[in-house]
Amino acid sequence: MHHTHKLLLAFAAAVLVAGVVLLWNQTSHAPEPGVVKAPNQSTESPKIDEAKLVDLTYPFDDKTVYWPTAKPFEWQKESWGKSAGGYWYTAARYSASEHGGTHLDAPIHFGEGKQAADEIPLTRLVGPAIVIDIAAACSGNADYQLSAADIAAWETAHGKIPGESIVLVRTGWGKFWPDKKKYLGTDAPGDTANLHFPGISREAAELLAQRKIEAIGIDTASIDHGQTKDFITHQVLNGANVYGLENVANLDRLPAKGATLIALPMKIKGGTGAPARIVALLP
């Protein structure tokens, strides 16, 4: 692991620890008897700068976009209100496909023998974020695919994409969420023939695999473009044990480089994918 990556991981871990410390301090009791604080000792708890935290996750509800053939998100109240004992009590149940909303594609999704959702180490779920913006090209072409030339242009401007980074592709498609017709190209249940949204080309996928990245993310329903017939981008990247992040929100709020990404999926044993809470820490 590169030294820079280790520092980023350590910094992200420190931020998480700071949050735990903050919550602990807010609920802690007064100092033990006999303990005297120094006159100038600050009693203010460490705080996380909220302006540096970006939520890259869409909420899960009846409007959440799923693949046309997938089971949608369902949520039902089981108990809601005053209980027989007179106190407030709520509980609900949910069900859904692994692949819908903001979620993780485990490498095993299209990579035989590769990691399942529960097998991806935490160290791979936290890392430096690289954002390649192709929104301008996509605005006039719903079937546009990230090319090797797009990656070369990014590297000319920002330097070679480092290994063990998490590459995010911004197409601008987030502006259509959750309008299925505009976001997918079709809102007909089961219709996969008329899907139109940007993705990542085979040549770009092969180049990113050569860069030894940890993950690939995108603000559309799939890392493959809507009109794919063979999901070759999934095959290439999952086959290289690279996991995917799809339907990622708010990519317009991230810089081209410098942010740290934390992508934590539901830990489904043997899962081919899972809903994920994705956040970014700005530099």
Q: What is the pTM of this model?
A: 0.84
Element holding 86 (H helix, E strand): none
At which residue do the structure tokens 């994409």 appear? 161
Amino acid letter, residue 104: L
pLDDT digits (tens, 9 = 90+) for 22-32: 433 443 444 44
Within 10 Å of residue 274's Cβ, how many Cβ atoms? 20
pLDDT reading at 149 higher than 80? yes
Secondary structure (3-state) at 97: coil
Amino acid letter, residue 73: F
Contact 195, 186 (CB under 8 A): yes
Least confident of 25-34, 37-46, 85-94, 143-152: 25-34
Element holding 21 (H helix, E strand): helix 3-27
pLDDT at 31: 46
pLDDT reading at 116 higher than 60? yes
CA distance 4 to 182: 40
pLDDT digits (tens, 9 = 90+) for 61-113: 999 999 999 999 999 999 999 999 999 999 999 999 999 999 999 999 999 99
pLDDT digits (tens, 9 = 90+) for 177-209: 999 999 999 999 999 999 999 999 999 999 999
The full set of domains in the chain, from first to last, is 52-71+98-281 (3.50.30.50)
Mean pLDDT for the stretch of residues 230-255:
98
pLDDT reading at 135 higher than 70? yes
Question: What does the mean pLDDT of the chain come to?
Answer: 89
Mean pLDDT for the stretch of residues 147-153:
98
- State the Rg of the chain over Cα: 21
Of the two residues 147 and 13, the one the predictor is more confident about is 147
- Degrees, nearest 5: CA angle 184-190-191: 50
Residues 109, 196, 225, 234: which is the catalytic one? Answer: 109
pLDDT at 6: 47
Active site residue 109: yes
Least confident of 13-17, 37-41, 78-82, 119-123: 13-17
pLDDT reading at 36 higher than 90? no
Of the two residues 240 and 13, the one the predictor is more confident about is 240
Mean pLDDT for the stretch of residues 243-254:
98
Q: Are strands 126-133 and 166-170 parallel, antiparallel or unpaired?
A: parallel
Contact 172, 131 (CB under 8 A): no
